């Protein structure tokens, strides 16, 4: 176990003993308009979601050459495919003949992508390699009719993509020290147990719920809150990305155990929050919840792609039942509890009850997140975000 892990658990244990939590220097006001204004929303989605690298898929969804994942993100049809060389590339999922959607959203494996309209075919590098009845069609320059590529990089078990064609990014710069932190999760070697899409409230209301421990005992007493200590947060930041550490209920056992005998990660719960819309939550040791929050067409809605990961494929009836129970628990915690509250907030945002929301000192990750949203909105597209801080 690393010295960093020990020190992390020491910090959590100190908070537990002292009944404290990491805090921001002060409370923070946030105008409710930031959640409501459609023009502001459109500008933020454009600047933040369309021009920053987004983790669109998990490496484990594309396990071998020819594995692909197609999805639509903010009305951008994206096709990610692993080539024979092992490299994942991303394209607009649109045929270069007359614009048919090349393959339906979903994940599968294929040798070639053949368009459902007139059967133009593309390989894993997006190259146009065959055209149905090409003699009668006439000349087409294959070199200029490949699929439109999107900048794409695979790091730390995730596939990062820019939604804007022609825009490049440096994934190492984007992640900074967060990459090494994500690497400790070894995400690429987990297995997908279940995946589903949940409708939820607006982007900011939804994200807010992923960024604090303050609500845990109140909202999740019968689900994930059974395992974690409410209102105890240890926070580490990596530029706009954050690692939230919650204490598990078993943390107190460490009080009477020598550090040399600690198995520290059994006593905390780590949440890796990738700006702007990714949450990787290790709720129980061998199960993990990955949430991709996808803004809707208006400020009022999102969808969340929930991926339930298992460290080892369940085989025995008891293992399968444990994974099914975990999946059902997080579904209830997120859909019924978090999004139940969130949809209620969303419905009352324009009631006039609040001109501002207040983020507590015990909600520092929430404060950071909104500061980073504001920071990105002030920058030009070519900004070097690693220069800044919160
Ligand atoms: S639109 Fe794809 S082959 Fe015609
Ligand atoms: Fe929650």
Q: What pLDDT digit, counting tens, does each position of 155-187 carry?
A: 999 999 999 999 999 999 999 999 999 999 999
Ligand 1 geometric centre to CA of 91 (Å) = 16
- Identify whether residues 186 and 163 lie together within a single domain: no
Residues 162 and 310 in one domain: no
Domain shared by 30 and 72, yes or no: no
Ligand whose nearest atom lies closest to the CA of 102: 1
Task: Say how many Å lie between the CA of residue 275 and the centre of ligand 2.
Answer: 18
287 & 272 share domain = yes
Residue among 77, 79, 92, 100 whose CB has most ligand 1 atoms within 8 A, to mutate: 100
Distance 156 CA to ligand 2 centre (A): 25
Residues 356 and 304 in one domain: yes
- Ligand 1 midpoint to CA 149 (Å): 17
* Nearest ligand, measured from the Cα of 128: 1
- Tell me what pLDDT residue 380 has: 58
- The pLDDT score that the predictor gives to residue 1 is 60
The pLDDT assigned to 282 comes to: 83
Domain that holds residue 119: 54-168
Picking from 160, 128, 126, 144, the residue whose alpha carbon sits closest to that of residue 52 is 160
| Same domain assignment for residues 29 and 104 | no
CATH of the domain at 72: 2.102.10.10
Q: Which residues contact ligand 1 via a Cβ below 6 A?
A: 95, 97-100, 115, 117-120
| Residue 264 reports pLDDT greater than 90 | no
Mean pLDDT of 189-197: 96
Whose CA is closest to atom 1 on ligand 1? 98
Q: Which ligand is nearest to the CA of 221?
A: 2
Rounded CA separation 87/242 (Å): 28
116 alpha carbon – ligand 1 mean position (Å): 7
Nearest ligand 1 atom to the CA of 119 is 3
- Cα–Cα distance for residue pair 214/249, rounded to 1 Å: 15
Q: What is the model's pLDDT at position 285?
A: 75
Q: Which atom of ligand 1 is nearest to the CA of 131?
A: 3
Ligand 1 midpoint to CA 348 (Å): 46
Instruction: Give domain status of residue 90, yes or no.
Output: yes
For residue 389, being part of any structural domain is answered with no
Assess whether pLDDT exceeds 90 at residue 49.
Answer: yes
Beta bridge partners of 92: 78
For residue 137, give the ligand nearest its CA: 1
Residue 211: pLDDT above 50?
A: yes
pLDDT at 381 over 70: no
Tens digits of residue pLDDT in 12-32: 999 999 999 999 999 999 999
Instruction: Say what percent of the chain tops pLDDT 70.
Output: 96
Query: pTM of this prediction?
Result: 0.94
Q: Is 12 exposed, middle or buried (0-12, 13-18, 19+ CB in 10 A)?
A: buried
- 133, 168, 203 - which closes a domain: 168
**pLDDT for residue 3:** 84
Q: Decide if pLDDT at 283 tops 80.
A: no
Q: pLDDT for 314-361, tens place per residue?
A: 999 999 999 999 999 999 999 999 999 999 999 999 999 999 999 999
Domain count within the chain = 2
Q: Which of 350, 365, 376, 373 is nearest to 33 (CA)?
A: 350
* Cα of 326 from ligand 2 centre, angstroms: 15
Question: What separation in angstroms does the CA of 83 have from each of 112, 242, 301?
Answer: 11, 32, 35
Residue 246 and residue 133 in one domain: no
For residue 100, give the ligand 1 atom closest to its CA: 1
- The CATH number covering residue 40 comes to 3.90.380.10
Do 235 and 351 sit in the same domain of this protein? yes
Q: Which of 124, 141, 168 is the last residue of a domain?
A: 168
Closest by Cα among 389, 364, 372 to 25: 364
- State the average pLDDT over residues 123-148: 96
Which atom number of ligand 1 is nearest to the Cα of residue 116?
2
Determine the atom of ligand 1 nearest the C-alpha atom of 120. Answer: 3
pLDDT class for 387, splitting at 50, 70, 90?
A: very low
Out of 150, 168, 186, pick the residue that ends a domain. 168
Helices (H) and strands (E) in the chain, counts: 11, 20
Clarify whether residues 122 and 64 are in a common domain.
yes
pLDDT digits (tens, 9 = 90+) for 228-251: 999 999 999 999 999 999 999 999
Which residue stretches of the chain are H helix? Answer: 3-18, 33-36, 38-44, 134-137, 171-175, 178-183, 203-209, 216-219, 317-331, 339-348, 364-378
**At 265, is the pLDDT very low, low, confident or very high (cuts 50, 70, 90)?**
confident
């Amino acid at each position: 176990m690393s010295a960093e892990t020990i020190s992390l658990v020491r910090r959590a244990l100190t908070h537990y003993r002292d009944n404290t939590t990491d805090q921001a220097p002060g409370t923070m006001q946030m105008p409710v308009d930031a959640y409501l204004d459609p023009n502001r929303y459109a500008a933020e989605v454009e600047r933040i979601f369309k021009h920053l690298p987004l983790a669109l898929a998990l490496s484990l969804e594309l396990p071998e050459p020819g594995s692909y994942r197609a999805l639509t993100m903010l009305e951008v049809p994206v096709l990610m495919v692993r080539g024979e060389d092992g490299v994942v590339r991303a394209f607009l999922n649109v045929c270069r003949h007359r614009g048919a959607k090349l393959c339906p959203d979903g994940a599968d494996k294929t040798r070639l992508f053949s368009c459902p309209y007139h059967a133009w075919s593309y390989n894993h590098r997006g190259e146009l390699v065959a055209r149905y009845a090409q003699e009668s069609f006439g000349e087409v320059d294959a070199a200029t009719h490949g699929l439109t590529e999107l900048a794409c990089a695979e790091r730390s078990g995730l596939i990062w993509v820019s939604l804007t064609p022609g825009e490049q990014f440096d994934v190492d710069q984007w992640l900074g020290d967060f990459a090494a932190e994500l690497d400790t999760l070894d995400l690429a070697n987990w297995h997908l147990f279940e995946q589903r899409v949940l409708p939820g409230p607006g982007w900011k209301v939804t994200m807010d719920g992923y960024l604090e421990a303050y609500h845990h005992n109140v909202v999740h007493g019968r689900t994930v809150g059974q395992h974690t200590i409410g209102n105890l947060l240890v926070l580490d930041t990596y530029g706009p990305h954050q690692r939230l550490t919650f204490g598990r209920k078993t943390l107190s056992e460490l009080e009477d155990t020598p550090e040399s005998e600690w198995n520290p990660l059994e006593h905390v719960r780590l949440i890796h929050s990738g700006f702007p819309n990714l949450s990787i939550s290790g709720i129980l040791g061998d199960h993990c919840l990955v949430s991709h929050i996808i803004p809707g067409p208006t400020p009022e809605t999102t969808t969340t792609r929930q991926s339930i990961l298992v460290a080892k494929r369940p085989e025995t009836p008891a293992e399968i039942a444990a994974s099914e129970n975990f999946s059902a628990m997080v579904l209830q915690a997120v859909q019924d509890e978090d999004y139940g509250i969130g949809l209620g907030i969303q419905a009352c945002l324009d009631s006039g009850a609040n001109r501002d929301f207040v983020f507590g000192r015990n909600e520092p990750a929430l404060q950071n997140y909104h500061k980073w949203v504001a920071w990105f909105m002030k920058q030009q597209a070519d900004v070097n975000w690693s220069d800044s801080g919160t």
